[in-house]
Amino acid sequence: MRPLEPTTSKQRVAYGLAFFVLFVALWSWATFGGHVSKTFLANPLTMVQEGYELLAKQGFLFDIGMTIWRVIGGFVLAAVIAVPLGVLMGAYKPIEAFLEPFVSFARYLPASAFIPLLILWAGIGELQKLLVIFIGAVFQIILMVAVTVGATRRDLVEAAYTLGARDSGIIRRVLLPSAAPEIAEILRLVLGWAWTYVIVAELIGSSSGIGHMITDSQALLNTGQIIFGIIVIGLIGLSPISCSRRSTPGYSLGSLHDPASDRSGLANLPRPRRQRTDPRAGADNARCRRQ
Amino acid sequence: MLRIIAGLDRPTSGRVTLDGREVTGPGADRGMVFQSYTLFPWLTVRENIAFGLRERGVPEKKRHEIADAFIRRVGLSGFENHWPKQLSGGMQQRTAIARALANDPKILLLDEPFGALDNQTRALMQEMLLGIWERDQKTVLFVTHDIEEAIFLGSRVIVMSARPGRIKAEIAVDLPHPRSYKIKTTPEFVALKERLVEEIRTEALKVAEQA
């Protein structure tokens, strides 16, 4: 091993699988070996049995479907409102000055804190679940899209002006396509966060969904079912994430410092690194999303 | 100065007029090529060149015709559907020149467009630009630090002084057209170069003394 030396794709898969094997081995050792009480942690075999039981007899597929629909519904609602607003904020500085302080404040309000209020307002039906996701996602998307659009290369905008572009043309044909790959990345990131909100929303006042099943199982001390539910969440979350990572090697997430975004004072947002990747990588990303 | 003419910056005093009309903002009648690479990375070579045409609402078929004609003029046939990142620096600047010309501007503003290129590519690009100019006779305002480039391409060379930037000298270049690269070694060319070197050297010395 040497720093930054690449591995072959075969090795990558092998190493990745090896950790899962190690993890299950440790789990088996702890449970089958009697080192942890059955009440607190089910062994892997029981977990698989309980999972089969859930899927075959207790209609768990319906719960999974409900949870996915809530995430997608709330997320799409948030994206439809947040992306245009973020683009406007990024493009027009007065709009940014008008909205940015409030959105920055609202961003730090945890979506789960709204659950009691939302139950009061919207009952315990689907609307309440969707609103939790919506509140959790909308402010994050607005801010990150605004920063991305605001950091569009100035020389490209100037070049478009000298080619006779008007303001609407600048937004539609420079700012939007320039920010599109990163907006896709932002949506993917926030979709991951939406998954955590939906489970929290389902833990309280719900009659269906993965989170509801987990609270039910807690009452019955059925740790096998709880673990199975958590694993299902992980598996669903893994599919789009792994897909996009393959197609956009130039991107990495995290708190990478970007001096270009310091101007607006929003530099501490988790956002993709500004790096121009092949436009087709963006298309790949979109394809992943649809799967 | 180029940025003011292009309408990207406002003059602190005075005005810029083009054919008697005052310049108030950027527009398609003044094509500009920047020193940095400013092709739109999400558009192909052809789409980049057709950007201004599309902005004016020229129909797609006509756009393609015009773009392809300019692609041939700058010698990029076969690269119509390439992405900018697949092109070398010289090819990117050729596309940028074609993009500015496709708008049929009254004047072409070039801000050290070949500054980032290696010497050999730069010489070829100068010949290409000269060829285009000899055909169209379109006014070109070309900013450069390269004295040889200025004489080879220019009909008039205007020397700007160091800060504040004022017009210091204007030298007519009477070398006949069409010019070939061989002209760079003729006695007339060398004499002009000598004169310009002296003019600019005094400016450079002034800057060095101030510092």
For chain A, give the secondary structure using H, E and C: CCCCCCCCHHHHHHHHHHHHHHHHHHHHHHHHCCCCCCCCCCCHHHHHHHHHHHHHHCCHHHHHHHHHHHHHHHHHHHHHHHHHHHHHHHHCHHHHHHHHHHHHHHHCCCHHHHHHHHHHHHCCCHHHHHHHHHHHHHHHHHHHHHHHHHCCCHHHHHHHHHCCCCHHHHHHHHHHHHHHHHHHHHHHHHHHHHHHHHHHHHHCCCCCCHHHHHHHHHHCCCHHHHHHHHHHHHHHHHHHHHHHHHHCCCCCCCCCCCHHHHHHCCCCCCCCCCCCCCHHHHHHHHHHHHC
Nearest to A163 among B8, B28, B42 (CB): B28
Question: What is the average per-residue pLDDT within A80-91?
Answer: 96
Q: What DSSP element (H or E) covers B143? A: strand B139-143
Pairing label, strands B17-18, B21-22: antiparallel
Chain B residue with minimal CA distance to A169? B55
B13/B37: higher pLDDT: B37
Chain B residue with minimum CA distance to A170: B55
Mean pLDDT along residues B88-96: 91
Domains and CATH numbers, chain B: 2-210 (3.40.50.300)
Picking from B40, B45, B63, B83 by the largest number of A CB atoms within 10 A of its own CB, the best residue to mutate is B40
Task: Please count the residue pairs, one from chain A and one from chain B, whose beta carbons lie less than 8 angstroms apart.
Answer: 70
Closest Cα in chain B, distance from residue A148 (Å):
16
Cis status of the peptide bond prior to B59, with omega within 30 of 0 = no
Chain B residues whose CB is inside 8 A of the A182 CB are none
Contact (CB<8Å) B7/A169: no
What is residue A281's predicted lDDT score, i.e. its pLDDT?
42
Cβ of B52 within 8 Å of Cβ of A156? The answer is no
Name the residue facing B42 among A164, A169, A177 (closest C-beta): A177
Say whether residue B161 is in contact with chain A using an 8 A CB cutoff: no
**Hey, are the CB atoms on B42 and A180 less than 8 Å from each other?**
yes
List own/partner pairs for A87-90 with CB under 8 A and 24 or more apart. Answer: A87/A145, A87/A146, A87/A149, A87/A171, A87/A175, A87/A176, A87/A179, A89/A142, A89/A145, A89/A146, A89/A149, A89/A150, A90/A145, A90/A146, A90/A147, A90/A148, A90/A149, A90/A150, A90/A151, A90/A152, A90/A175, A90/A179
Using CA coordinates, name the residue in chain A closest to B34.
A159
User: Given a cut of 80, is residue A133 above it in pLDDT?
Assistant: yes
Whether residue A267 has pLDDT greater than 50: no
Alpha-carbon gap, residue A171 to A90, rounded angstroms: 10
Rounded Cα distance between B101 and B104, Å, is 5
Residue A256 has pLDDT above 50, yes or no: no
Q: Are residues B31 and A173, on separate chains, in Cβ contact within 8 Å? A: no
| Res A181: pLDDT | 93
Which among B27, B40, B43 has CB closest to A164? B27
Which whole number is the average pLDDT over A14-26?
95
User: pLDDT tens for residues A90-130?
Assistant: 999 999 999 999 999 998 888 888 888 888 898 888 899 99
- Gap from A151 CA to chain B (nearest CA, Å): 15
Which chain A residue lies closest to B96 (C-alpha atoms)?
A: A159
Interface test with B, best of A156, A157, A163, A280 (most B CBs within 10 A): A163
Give chain B positions within 8 Å (CB) of A282: 42
- Retrieve residue B180's tokens: 């070939």
pLDDT at B161: 82
Q: CA-to-CA distance for A105 and B65, rounded, in angstroms?
A: 52
Measured distance CA(B160)–CA(B162) in Å, rounded: 7
- Checking if the pLDDT of A269 tops 50, the result is no
B55 at interface of A, judged by CB pairs closer than 8 A: yes
pLDDT > 50? residue A30:
yes
pLDDT surpasses 70 at A77: yes
Mean pLDDT of B100-127: 89
Distance between CA A235 and CA B26 in Å, rounded? Answer: 53
What DSSP character marks residue B81? Answer: T
Interval B123-146 mean pLDDT: 89
Query: What average pLDDT does range B83-93 have in this prediction?
Result: 92
Rounded to the nearest 5 degrees, what angle is found at the Cα of A57, between the Cα atoms of A53 and A62? 105
**In angstroms, what CA-CA distances link A264 with A146, A168, A186, B5, B101?**
10, 23, 18, 30, 36
A140 with A271: CB under 8 angstroms?
no
Q: How close B181 gets to chain A, by Cα (Å)?
A: 31
Model confidence at B54, in pLDDT bands (50, 70, 90)? very high
Question: Is A258 within 8 Å of A271 (Cβ atoms)?
Answer: yes
Section A249-267 average pLDDT: 36
pLDDT at B164 over 60: yes
Confidence of residue A149 (pLDDT cuts 50, 70, 90): very high
Contact of B99 with B34, CB cutoff 8 Å: no
- Test A279 with B41 for CB contact under 8 angstroms: yes
How high is the pLDDT of residue A254?
35
Domains and CATH numbers, chain A: 63-210+251-282 (1.10.3720.10)
Mean pLDDT computed over A65-71 = 91
- What residues does B141 pair with on adjacent strands? B109
Q: Is the pLDDT of residue A253 over 80?
A: no
pLDDT of A257 reads 34
Asked whether this complex has an ipTM greater than 0.95, the answer is: no
Q: Which DSSP symbol is given to B115?
A: T
Q: A136 pLDDT band (50/70/90 cuts)?
A: very high
Is residue B160 classed as helix, strand or coil in its secondary structure? strand
How many Cβ atoms sit within 10 Å of the Cβ of residue A140? 23
Among B99, A107, B25, residue whose Cα is nearest residue B113: B99
Q: How confident is the model at residue A277, as a pLDDT?
A: 40
pLDDT of residue A240: 59
Tokens standing for A169? 């043309």
- Torsions phi, psi for A41 (to 5 deg): -145, 120
Mean pLDDT of B129-141: 88
Query: B93 pairs with which residues across the strands?
Result: none
Residue from A154, A162, A280, A284 to probe the interface with B (highest B Cβ count within 10 Å) = A162
Comparing CB atoms, the residue among A164, A169, A174 nearest residue B103 is A164
Task: Answer yes or no: is pLDDT of B1 > 60.
Answer: yes
Residue B92: band (very low, low, confident or very high) from pLDDT cuts 50, 70, 90:
very high
Contact call for B6 and A279, based on CB within 8 A: no
pLDDT at A273: 42
In this predicted structure, the answer to whether residue A261 has a pLDDT above a threshold of 60 is no
* Res B39: pLDDT: 94
- Inform me whether the pLDDT recorded for B45 exceeds 90: yes
Q: Residue range A5-33: average pLDDT? A: 93
Q: What pLDDT sits at residue A284?
A: 41
Cβ pair A158:B38 closer than 8 A: yes
- Within 8 A of B30 by CB-CB distance, chain A residues are 162
Question: Would you say residue B60 has pLDDT above 60?
Answer: yes
Q: Does B6 touch chain A (CB under 8 A)?
A: yes
Å from A184 to nearest chain B CA?
15
Instruction: Give the per-residue pLDDT at A280.
Output: 40
pTM, rounded to two decimals = 0.77
* Integer Cα distance of B110 and B31 in angstroms: 8
Q: Calculate the average pLDDT of chain A.
A: 82
